[in-house]
Amino acid sequence: VLFGELFEILDEQADWTSIRLLETDYLGWIQNGQFQELNDLDRQHYLSGKPTIVGRAGGALFTDTTQFQLCHGTKLYLNTGNTVNLSPLTLTYQGSMNTFTREQFETEVVRLALSYQDVPYLWGGRSQWGIDCSGFSQLIYRCFDLSLPRDAYQQAEMGQI
């Protein structure tokens, strides 16, 4: 789960919570204390911003006392002044923003993919801090506003011969 991704809680254990990502229906576990629950009003307020993908150089969200480092591919919903509303916090984004469009896919996909050449392999990873094969494909396509499922077998079914 990347920062700001919305999910449904399926089951709660002592240290871990079973979830389903809303964007991709992917199932997984997240450590308790690593997420903030939102009520319906707060979720609507968060989603009212403009969807923006963090650019290759990354970025950070700031409050007066806290900084959250964000990796490339993180989806944020930015409001006026590059702010993110996560009640009770309003965070300010500073960093790069993805500028690729679907129309640029054929000309830019290889360049973007090669920028991940030295990123370490991490099973289940979806970021520049560690990535696996299907996470890599999903992330690269996301930067061009193209949605892929999470697992490789699902991604293979998306192609055409």
**Span 13-66, pLDDT tens digits:** 999 999 999 999 999 999 999 998 899 999 999 999 999 999 999 999 999 999
pLDDT tens per residue across span 62-78: 999 999 999 999 999 99
Domain assignment present for residue 20? The answer is yes
Residues 66 and 24 in one domain: no
Domain assignment present for residue 122? The answer is yes
| Element at 113 (helix H, strand E) | helix 105-114
Is omega for the bond preceding 88 within 30 degrees of 0, making it cis?
yes
Residues 111 and 65 in one domain: no
pTM score of the predicted model: 0.87
Domain assignment present for residue 52? The answer is yes
pLDDT of 161 higher than 70: no
Report the pLDDT value the prediction gives residue 104, as an integer from 0 to 100: 97
pLDDT tens per residue across span 85-135: 888 889 999 999 999 999 999 999 999 999 999 999 999 999 999 999 999
Candidates 58, 55, 46, 57; CA nearest to 22 is: 46
